[in-house]
Structure 1
Amino acid sequence: MILRSTKLLNHPIRQSLTHSTLIKNPSCSSSEIPKRLHHKDWLSPNEVVQVFTSLQDPNSVLTALDHYSKRKDYKPNEALYTLLIDKLAQAHLFEAVDDVMDRIKAERNCRLSDDFFRGVMKAYGNVGGRIKKAIQTLYDMPSFGCWPTVKTFNFALHLLVSTKMFDVVHEVYLVAPKLGIEIDACCLNIIIKGLCESGKWDNALKVLDEFPKQKCEPNALTFSTLMHGLCVNGKVDDAFGLLKRMENEGIDPDTITFNILIAGLRKQRRYDEGIKLLEQMKLKGCAPNPASYQEVLYCLLDAQRFAEAKQFMIRMISKRASPSFVSYKTLIQGLCKENMVEDLDWVLRQMIRQGFIPKMGMWKQIIRSVFSKSNHCCVSYEETIDDLIT
């Protein structure tokens, strides 16, 4: 476990006053401090939060906090510390965030929740991109008198996976017992996702064996994550093997599971299998969503079955699923190529009704196809098209 140096803890007030990056004027004139902190009237915790909320300059936060700490009614709480961390983090004053955390540890005058530390980790990781500092905060929580929950632990793992720090994921996972964490299915799912994204498919599959050891049960997300990794790697048949394993273990596949498989089949140009899978998922009691229909539409377009694609698009729209712009563009190009100009009108009208505007190149292709069909070629296509458009 890596902890910050304790040198700063000896004089937290002095450090907050002299931090060069935060205070423009080291002498700290009284004008930097909100007037209400000068009053001798007793301030309630809510009033103190209002005072610090009103601060416009984040650089004055530590100055005001130091002044407040000298008052007899000084009694900071989690709401105040959360506000200070948020203000400083949004201004990217992360050295000041460090100072506030040092002060909290030194004073120990407030009991903080797991939610607070998760917020600090989000500030370091999501706002500041200081991933290592966020993980250090997780390790450091017990020294503040607060033990992390599995929700906060899983946030740390997800942060590492999302920033592709895959090598650190296993290190954090091994620390779980020291932090009093009981591993859950969500944690293992994050581990699987990280292994898949780093290309370690075999190791990801082995994590399935960890579920019973940790007294957890895999769910549809577990298998969908593995299937996605396999399909991306071209191992669609192995992904279907996992589908069979799911069903054998009594785990119902969801819509996302089938969408992943349809996309995997499409990638391997196994279009008919992808199209049939849409019907099979219905028989299994799983309702398709717009993404399901879109994947099947892509299968038909990739297979250059444009007449079928148009009919499927009609069916898709009747299910209140909106085709993508790429779908319309590809279908129009296909209809033009096959000289099926009689179908263009409906596609164009539906495209515009959905809010998509055909671009110049698309219009030229449509007009060229119409002229070719009608055999009116008195002048060159390009000259006629330019005249019509302009």
Structure 2
Amino acid sequence: MLALLRNHLQHCYFNKTPIYSVFCLTLSHTHVSTSTTVQSHSDSACSSNSATALFGFLGKEPRNAMFCRHSWVALYSSRTYRGPISRSLRRRISKRAKAAAKPVLDEALFRRTVSQLPPRFTHEELHNVIALQDDPLVCLEIFNWASQQHRFRHNVLTYHITIKKLGAAKMYKEMDDVVNQVLAVPSVASEALYNTMIYYFTEARKLIRAVNIYNQMRSSRKLDCRPSIRTYNILFAALLSRGKNSYVNHVYMETVRCLFKQMVDDGVEPDIFCLNSMIKGYVLSLHVNDALRIFHQMGTAYNCQPNSYSYDYLIHGLCAQGRTRNARELCDRMKNSGFVPSSKSYSSLVNSLALEGEVDEAVKFLWEMAENQRIADFITYRTVLDEISRQKRIGDALRMLEEFQEKNLVDGHMYQKLLYELKDTSRSPNIRS
């Protein structure tokens, strides 16, 4: 059988005949024979070593053969990928796979939906039909079908609902085509429609496209198409969610700062969400003093009172810069205003106090967290216990850990992890037992 298959492979290779499917699979610990048809002539089952022997007479692998982890696979293909696949190639393969998996229009559903429209339907009737339809492909087909109807022109209603449906389905390419139709007719637009475009473009991470639409809003002659506070909030949220480190946040914060200045210059009054976005952006980009400036101007310049998020962002930012005293003062002011700090704010304070050697104050805030039903993480407990071990004795840290468990502040898994860390720390020569 092997000789027959060898002759057949040699015949296919030298006569440029494609091999449609040959699979020689090797499983770990067991060799499972899998028979497959080779151009309907012969059946074969072999291990990976047998596959190597079969292809050895060629001097190289056939161009439609490749070894995938534990298996030789020969497929109908005109190229072979050798070595690790590059990122660009992976993207192309993924793009082709997505194109192959593209959903198909349900013609029957489309015809049933169109039949619900009267002969001379209005914009409101078309809007309602598209709004009730769950299939985005059918929605797009109805929209295109309506565009071809005699004496019918789309308006804000039909454009808006179609863009919403396509954006929610993440059909961004099709949505972009509809957006281009809207931008080609400036008279058919509204502030809500522009905001929807900006929102879904930010969801698609097409920030340049979103900013271009924002610029078109600013230059619009229609006053009801100018950017509103919602427009700016959408852009701020999108830009501030891009950063993964302080440098990236610093780059995007410059854009946010320019947008904020344009907003104030255009007479748009910022709300609490907008001001908190500015505070958050400055904190993430390590400009805590600028964040404090916005915070102190909230009541006087912008007629807006801070909420719990305003305090939380600042407490975390101050602790990150080692300004623990200012963070404690702000925390006291927050509690006097009737707000309860978040788990992140408490954890930042506890860690900062412990690292500065104020263990008693750190433990005090830990108990306060428990009273306010805020949960500390593993790092926070470990930081406090490590500092207790360093300043006092390992026995004090163990007793504190037992107390944490008795009051259900740590579960069994976290208790075991902390206990292991303490035992490991006790072996250090700098720790007193």
- CA shift in 2, pair 1:239/1:368, >3 Å: closer
Q: Which structure dedicates a bigger proportion of its chain to strand? A: 2
Q: Counterpart of 2:308 in structure 1: which amino acid? A: T
C-alpha distance in 1 between matches for 2:314 and 2:432? 43
Q: Distance in 1 between matches of 2:237 and 2:338?
A: 24
Q: 2:403 aligns with which of 346, 354, 361?
A: 346
- The question of 1:262 aligning with 2:306 is answered no
Q: Aligned AA for 2:272?
A: A
1:119/1:71 CA distance change after superposition, 3 Å: closer
Q: Deviations over 1:259-299 (max 9, x none)?
A: 1111111221222221221012344x351342443432343
After superposing on structure 2, the runs of 4+ consecutive aligned residues of structure 1 that deviate more than 6 Å are 70-76, 108-116, 142-146, 369-375
Is the Cα–Cα contact under 8 Å of residues 117 and 137 in structure 1 kept in the other structure?
A: yes
- Taking a change above 3 Å as real, the CA distance of residues 147 and 233 of structure 1, as seen in their structure-2 partners, is same
Cα distance in 1, alignment partners of residues 111 and 353 from structure 2 = 67
1:81 maps to 2:159 = no
Which residue matches 2:234?
A: 190
What is aligned with 1:288?
A: 340
Larger RCO (CA under 8 A, 6+ residues apart) = 1
Structure 2 stretches of 5 or more lacking a match?
Answer: 1-102, 243-248
- Equivalent AA in structure 1 for residue 131 of structure 2: T
Match of 1:241 among 289, 293, 307: 293
Residues 1:367 and 1:78: Cα distance change in structure 2 (over 3 Å): same
Cα-to-partner distance string for 1:151-179 (whole Å, 9 max, x where unaligned): 44323323333444222222101222277
Instruction: Please tell me whether residue 167 in structure 1 is matched to residue 184 in structure 2.
Output: no
SS at match of 2:375: coil
TM-score in terms of structure 2 length: 0.58
Q: What SS is found at the alignment partner of 1:269?
A: coil
The amino acid that maps onto 1:174 is: N
Q: How far has the Cα of 1:124 moved from its partner?
A: 3.0
CA distance in 1, matches of 2:351, 2:158: 46
User: Alignment RMSD, CA only?
Assistant: 4.1
Match of 1:327 in 2: 380
Change over 3 Å in CA distance of 1:346–1:116 after alignment to 2: farther
- Quote how far apart the aligned CAs of 1:231 are: 1.8
AA aligned opposite 2:214: Y
1:187 aligned partner, one-letter code: T
Counterpart Cα distance in 2 of 1:235 and 1:163: 29
Q: Which amino acid aligns with 1:183?
A: P
The letter of the residue matching 2:175 is A
State how far apart, in whole Å, the 1-side matches of 2:210 and 2:335 are.
38
CA distance in 1, matches of 2:403, 2:417: 19
Query: Could you say which residue in structure 1 is the equivalent of 2:271?
Result: 219
Tell me the residue number matched to 2:107.
62
Change (3 A) 1:295 1:149: farther
Amino acid at match of 1:319: N
Are the counterparts in 1 of residues 334 and 341 from structure 2 also a CA contact under 8 Å?
no
303 and 174 in structure 1: CA distance in 2 versus 1, 3 angstrom threshold: same
**Deviation (angstroms), 1:321:** 2.3
C-alpha distance in 2, partners of 1:113/1:359?
Answer: 63
Q: What pairs with 1:98-177 in structure 2 (closer than 5 Å)?
A: 98-107=140-149, 118=160, 120-128=162-170, 130=172, 132-140=173-181, 149-176=190-217, 177=220
> What amino acid maps onto 1:348 in structure 2?
Q
Rounded Cα–Cα distance in structure 2 between residues aligned with 1:68 and 1:163: 29
Aligned residue-pair number: 308
Deviation readout 1:281-337 (Å, 9 max, x if unpaired): 344x35134244343234334445443222211112212323234433443444455
C-alpha spacing 1:204/1:286, structure 2 compared with 1 (3 Å): farther
- Structure 1, unaligned runs of 5 or more: 1-57, 376-390
Percent identity, aligned pairs only? Answer: 13
For residue 208 of structure 1, what is the aligned residue in structure 2?
A: 260
Distance 1:166 1:107 in 2: 35
Match of 2:413 in 1: 357
Output the TM-score relative to the length of structure 1.
0.63
Q: If you compute each CA radius of gyration, which structure gives the higher value, 1 or 2?
A: 2
Matching residue's letter, 1:205: R
Distance 1:374 1:194, change over 3 A: closer
Output the CA distance in 2 between the equivalents of 1:202 and 1:273. Answer: 26
1:314 maps to 367
- For residues 129 and 248 of structure 1, the distance between their equivalents in structure 2, rounded to whole angstroms, comes to 45
